[in-house]
Amino acid sequence: MTSDKKSLRDAYGEILVELGSQDRSIVVLDADLSGSTRTSKFAKKYPERFFNMGIAEQDMISTAAGLAAVGKIPFASTFAVFASGRAWDQVRQSVCLSNMNVKIVASHGGITVGEDGPTHQALEDIALMRIMPNMTVIVPADAHETTSAMKTIVKTRGPVYLRTARDKLPVVTDEGFEFDIGKGSVVRDGPDAAIIACGYMVAKSLEAADLLAKDGIMAAVVNMSTIKPLDTGLVAKMAASTGAIVAAEEHSIIGGLGSAVAEAVCEVGPVPVIRVGMKKPVGQSGKPEQLLDHYGMNAISIADAVHKAVSMKKEPVSNAQS
Amino acid sequence: MKRIEDCEELAKIADELRIDILEMLHTAGSGHTGGSLSAIDILTALYFSKMNHKPGMENGAERDRFVLSKGHGAPALYVTLARCGYFDKSELASLRKLGSMLSGHPYSPSTPGVEVTTGSLGQGLSIANGMALGLKLDQSKSVIFCLMGDGETQEGQVWEAAMTSAHYKLDNLVAILDNNGLQIDGFVKDVMGIEPIGDKWRAFGWEVIEIDGHDMSALLGAIDKAVAVKGKPSLIWAHTVKGKGVSFMENKASYHGAAPTAKELEMAKKELNPA
């Protein structure tokens, strides 16, 4: 991990223009947030292929389905709360039931939306999109992965929900890293526990792993950027090799990555799974880092969760191989 | 498809399709009778006279498209598609049954000729807008037809979409309102009034063409007129009768979602085909 921080939404806006120059069937829709979601870059370059739908997210999603029905590849963007919540039935009925080739790229995911407060903090979107039929759900960890994921999803038919963040995030992937749908990546290895994270929590998990190392616990960190389809093979492997799992996400502990990991672990051979995420029903305004500290989504909280998971192992670490 | 211009011939087809609708719904034992009978003259005019389409022409650049936004009118669409040859008429007997290609509401992946999945009301016009935007980009001459129910326009999304059609000047889009005056709980005017219909659509920037939705000649003329409008979308405001063609079903909310019994089917067939 470098100390560099880069914006995921900037990365989205830039790659969208690049992809748009290569493929004329790419069209972009936004709901009056094009400056914030960064689709404004595409709008400026290709105005004839950009459709501002006004403040009407439901109409935007169904319109995107219509564009897909005549062979276009629509990217529809707005804040994560609106894309997943306001337009949930349109995502289900107009897009997902018929496996329409609509890409929903939602910015401002999670509690790090910050000062805008609880109405704008998407803490349920992964759950809402994960249950959608045919939907692929992606939460990139950094700007580089966002770019790589965009290159992949544009070539893959079917609906995708890709969540970015408001703030710049630390770069955690290597230059040569290539995103693959449904594949998690081990960004740090360790035998004692595995932290499976997505989005900003990958960087926080790497910090946590540093803290844990000082206590003699060597924790692996997995960047699980595809929540659905989940890389159950990797989850099973990490569960078997470490015997203790922590899942970390900037999302409610109900229904998101933590739930997906817990479901998978239960089916492959149970080991302790501790979920790190939003445990309170509703957030509040505040600075992003203050909120992560306040609601237990920081490196210390993740490290504490690892200690707990390790303490719950059925066998001590030293005997695990015998 | 061969385009039929003779109104009497079209009216005869519509009445034969009414019998198909009633038979398939009776066999299924459930389904939406009233709204299918109010819409079938409109579908007949589109599919047998005005739309450029044929089975197998799935993605032809000049293919006109039909979106049944009032998805519960699926029986009317299915009998029409079967008669056009999109699938065998024998499939109609499988409506709503396990393994059938004919779902209770239109589900595009399973039914040849069904353009989009609809059923949750109010989404079809937005989808039709998306098709119209995409086809305009391709400089296609295709026209998108979207059939809505009057009760359906209580959905807020319809008005979001109505704004979009006008904002983007979608003159390759024709919406048709099946104004039968009834919805599940009763008369539209009692449940949630939608008047003044014409003024609302005109205020949203639409050309409004008001007709009797069971007058085949008026339907053909209105479709021609709507397609010819340039620079804005058109609405054919079709006054219809729920349950049209079967006296004891006409204007009865109770036949919104009820299939005919064997006795009702016999009585209806006698009315529709007196010879």
Nearest chain B residue (CA) to A56: B160
Q: Are B94 and B100 in contact (CB under 8 A)?
A: yes
Domains and CATH numbers, chain B: 7-272 (3.40.50.970)
- Is a pLDDT exceeding 70 seen at residue A2? no
| B160 with A93: Cβ contact below 8 A | no
Residue B118 touches partner A, C-beta closer than 8 Å:
yes
Closest CB from A51, A66, A90 relative to B128: A66
Q: What is the dihedral of CA B255, B260, B264, B268, to 10 degrees?
A: 80
Backbone angles phi, psi at A58, to 5 degrees: -65, -45
Nearest chain B residue (CA) to A89: B120
- The answer to whether the complex's ipTM is over 0.95 is yes
Q: How far is B58 from chain A (nearest CA, A)?
A: 10
Pick the CATH number of A5-170 from 3.40.50.620, 3.40.50.970, 3.30.300.30, 1.10.150.120: 3.40.50.970
What is the pLDDT averaged over residues A227-254?
98
What percent of chain A has a predicted confidence (pLDDT) above 70? 97
- Is a pLDDT exceeding 90 seen at residue A194? yes
Chain A interface mutation, best of B72, B160, B204, highest count of A Cβ atoms under 10 Å = B160
Chain B CB contacts of A74 under 8 Å are 130
- Is a pLDDT exceeding 90 seen at residue A217? yes
| B130 with A62: Cβ contact below 8 A | yes
What percent of chain B has a predicted confidence (pLDDT) above 70? 98
Helix axes A143-153, A8-22, angle to 10 degrees: 30
Residue A132 touches partner B, C-beta closer than 8 Å:
no
**What are the catalytic residues of A?**
57
Task: Specify the residue for token string 């960890």.
Answer: A141
H or E segment at B174?
Answer: strand B173-179
**Amino acid at residue number B105:** H
Dmax (CA) of chain B: 53
Note whether A5-170 and A185-312 share their fold: yes
* C-alpha closest to that of B180 among B44, B77, B40: B40
Q: What is the pLDDT of residues B74-131, one digit of tens each?
A: 999 999 999 999 999 999 999 999 999 999 999 999 999 999 999 999 999 999 999 9
Q: Are B46 and B145 in contact (CB under 8 A)?
A: yes
Residue A44: the pLDDT is 98
CA angle A122, A127, A128 (to 5 degrees): 80
Q: What is the pLDDT of residues B171-189, one digit of tens each?
A: 999 999 999 999 999 999 9
Take residue A310 and report the two structure tokens written for it.
């390790």
Q: What is the pLDDT of residues A26-63, one digit of tens each?
A: 999 999 999 999 999 999 999 999 999 999 999 999 99
Residue B186, strand partner residues: B183
The number of residues in chain A equals 322
Rounded CA separation B219/B2 (Å)? 18
Q: What is the pLDDT of residues B34-54, one digit of tens each?
A: 999 999 999 999 999 999 999
Closest CB from A67, A74, A93 relative to B123: A93
Residue A316: the pLDDT is 52
Residue B99 touches partner A, C-beta closer than 8 Å:
no
Confidence of residue A315 (pLDDT cuts 50, 70, 90): low
Question: SS3 of A30, please?
Answer: strand
| A70 with B138: Cβ contact below 8 A | yes
What is the pLDDT averaged over residues A13-24?
98
Q: Are A220 and A195 in contact (CB under 8 A)?
A: yes
Confidence of residue B61 (pLDDT cuts 50, 70, 90): low
Confidence of residue B275 (pLDDT cuts 50, 70, 90): low
- Is a pLDDT exceeding 60 seen at residue A320? no
- Is a pLDDT exceeding 60 seen at residue A318? no
Q: Where are the domains of chain A?
A: 5-170, 185-312
Please give the mean pLDDT across all residues of chain A.
96
- Is a pLDDT exceeding 60 seen at residue A203? yes
Rounded CA separation B257/B71 (Å)? 12
Look at phi and psi of residue B49 and say left if phi exceeds 0, alpha if psi is from -120 to 50, else beta. Answer: alpha
Chain B CB contacts of A76 under 8 Å are none
Rounded CA separation B170/A123 (Å)? 37
Residue B168 touches partner A, C-beta closer than 8 Å:
yes
Pick the CATH number of A185-312 from 3.40.50.920, 3.40.50.300, 3.40.600.10, 3.40.50.170: 3.40.50.920
Rounded CA separation B200/B196 (Å)? 6
Residue B130 touches partner A, C-beta closer than 8 Å:
yes
CA separation, residue B202 to residues B124, B142, B155, B177, B233 (Å):
20, 24, 18, 14, 10
Residue B273: the pLDDT is 84
Question: SS3 of B109, please?
Answer: coil
Q: What is the pLDDT of residues A128-149, one digit of tens each?
A: 999 999 999 999 999 999 999 9
Rounded CA separation B67/B145 (Å)? 6
Residue B117 touches partner A, C-beta closer than 8 Å:
yes
Beta strands in chain A (DSSP E): 5-7, 26-30, 50-52, 73-79, 103-107, 136-138, 160-163, 168-170, 185-188, 193-197, 219-223, 226-228, 245-252, 273-278
CA separation, residue A254 to residues A220, A250, A257, A261, B134 (Å):
23, 11, 9, 11, 39
Nearest chain A residue (CA) to B142: A70
Report the predicted TM-score, pTM, of the whole model to 2 decimal places. Answer: 0.96
Chain A CB contacts of B111 under 8 Å are none
Residue A175: the pLDDT is 83
Confidence of residue B57 (pLDDT cuts 50, 70, 90): confident
Chain B interface mutation, best of A32, A50, A63, highest count of B Cβ atoms under 10 Å = A63
Residue A68 touches partner B, C-beta closer than 8 Å:
yes
What is the pLDDT averaged over residues A157-171?
97
Q: What is the pLDDT of residues B9-24, one digit of tens each?
A: 999 999 999 999 999 9
Rounded CA separation B140/B132 (Å)? 9
